């Protein structure tokens, strides 16, 4: 059995976990406060109590060693106790951690091998480095030849650079009907960003020669694949899941990185710009800037998205996890 800890901020952690689980032969138990107990993707779900801060937060980083361990937080204590109980009773072959240094340490202290998800950005801080050191293997959801950060190089021998992981890998393109106007699809993030539905509506009113569509900004779509296929240009944040989705759809893109801790999205956006995959801007463009920006985006060579290696990425991630889980059998034999 494999345990899979899924961080509850944003939606990309859960979407990535579902896609990887579909590529694993072993049973998988999800541990998260963002997964419904009736989620049929996983063989079992362990709901975790929230560790949201109380009114007073005491030393949440333990003097910079950890990421989130505030003193006297009842939710945190219950969360860790729930995970510890499951580890002791289920005795999993491995635990995937996406992403929490505290959960990685907890699993390793129970003698369980850890597969950690590496994230882009500036991760040279002690907490991230501690997680990377204790992990048996690391999975990086991007191609190494495009993004090889200094802070991850000491762990190169145990890191699998699998490419961008997307739930749409293997889906054939669909061609929804349109009214003949070029379609601009704006993809918002679950944790907010620099653009809003109101800003998109202002563009739609000003530039009626384009058909403007929105997903993720108050307009949740269970299956965005037809919208991605319909788009002539995609305007998106730089979250790992969103970028991988655009890559597999191979569409011209304008990337507006959302502010995130450790400069996560800025690092991804810079990588895409350097590789000529997308146009990147540091904020939502002014209204007058859109015609030139969309024209430039449509001139991009969308074939360059192949370098993001989204095709087969989840299979490669699952193979890494299965390899770690199989080491228990070799030890027993």
Per domain, the residue ranges of the chain are 2-162+312-332, 183-308
pLDDT by 10s per residue, the chain, length 333: 999 999 987 788 999 999 999 999 999 999 999 999 889 999 999 999 988 766 567 889 999 999 999 998 899 999 999 999 999 999 999 999 999 999 999 999 999 999 999 999 999 999 999 999 999 999 999 999 999 999 999 999 999 999 999 999 999 999 878 788 999 999 997 665 678 899 999 999 999 999 999 998 776 788 999 999 999 999 999 999 999 999 999 999 999 999 999 999 999 999 999 999 999 999 999 999 999 999 999 999 999 999 999 999 999 999 999 999 998 766 654
- The mean predicted confidence, pLDDT, of the chain is 93
pLDDT at 90 (0 to 100): 97
CATH number of 2-162+312-332: 3.40.50.2000
pLDDT at 218 (0 to 100): 72
3-state SS of the chain is CEEEEECCCCCHHHHHHHHHHCCCCCCEEEEECCCCCCCCCCCEEEECCCCCCCCCCECCCCCCCCCCCCECCHHHHHHHHHHHHHHHHHCCCEEEEECCHHHHHHHHHCCCCEEEEECCCCCCCHHHHHHHHHCCEEEECCCCCCCCCHHHHHHHHHEEECCCCCCCCCCCCCCCCCCCCCEEEEECCCCCCCCCHHHHHHHHHHCCCCEEEEECCCCCCCCCHHHHHHCCEEEECCCHHHHHHHHHHCCCEEECCCCCHHHHHHHHHHHHHHCCCCEECCCCCCHHHHHHHHHHHHCCCHHHHHHHCCCCHHHHHHHHHHHHHHHHHHHHC
pLDDT at 251 (0 to 100): 98
pLDDT at 331 (0 to 100): 60
pLDDT at 191 (0 to 100): 60
**pTM for the whole structure:** 0.95
Query: What whole-number percentage of the chain has pLDDT above 70?
Result: 95
* CATH topology identical between 2-162+312-332 and 183-308: yes
**Under CATH, to which class is 183-308 assigned?**
alpha beta
pLDDT at 8 (0 to 100): 84
């Amino acid at each position: 059995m494999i345990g899979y800890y899924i961080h509850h901020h944003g939606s990309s952690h859960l979407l990535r976990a579902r896609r990887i689980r579909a590529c694993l032969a072993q049973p998988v138990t999800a541990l998260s406060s963002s997964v419904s107990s009736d989620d049929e993707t996983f063989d079992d779900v362990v709901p975790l109590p929230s560790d949201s801060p109380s009114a007073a937060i005491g030393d949440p980083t333990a003097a910079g060693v950890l990421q989130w361990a505030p003193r006297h937080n009842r939710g945190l204590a219950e969360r860790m106790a729930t995970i510890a109980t499951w580890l002791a009773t289920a005795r999993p072959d491995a635990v995937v951690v996406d992403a929490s240094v505290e959960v990685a340490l907890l699993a390793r202290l129970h003698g369980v091998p850890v597969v950690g998800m590496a994230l882009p950005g500036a991760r040279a801080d002690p907490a991230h480095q501690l997680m990377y050191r204790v992990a048996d293997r690391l999975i990086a959801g991007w191609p190494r030849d495009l993004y090889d950060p200094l802070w991850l190089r000491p762990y190169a021998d145990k890191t699998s650079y699998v490419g961008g992981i997307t739930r749409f890998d293997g889906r054939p393109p669909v061609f929804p009907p349109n009214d003949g106007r070029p379609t601009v699809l704006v993809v918002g993030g679950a944790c907010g960003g620099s653009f809003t539905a109101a800003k998109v509506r202002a563009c739609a009113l000003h530039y009626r020669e384009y058909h403007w569509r929105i997903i993720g900004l108050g307009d949740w779509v269970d299956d965005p694949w037809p919208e991605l296929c319909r788009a002539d240009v995609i305007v998106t944040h730089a979250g790992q899941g969103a970028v991988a989705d655009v890559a597999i759809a191979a569409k011209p893109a304008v990337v507006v990185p959302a502010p995130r801790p450790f400069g996560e999205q800025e690092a991804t956006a810079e990588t895409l710009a350097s590789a000529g995959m997308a146009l990147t801007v540091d904020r939502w463009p002014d209204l007058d800037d859109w015609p030139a920006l969309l024209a430039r985006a449509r001139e991009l060579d969308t074939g360059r998205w192949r370098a993001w290696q989204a095709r087969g990425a989840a299979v490669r991630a699952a193979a890494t996890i299965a390899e770690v889980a199989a080491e228990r059998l070799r030890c027993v034999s």
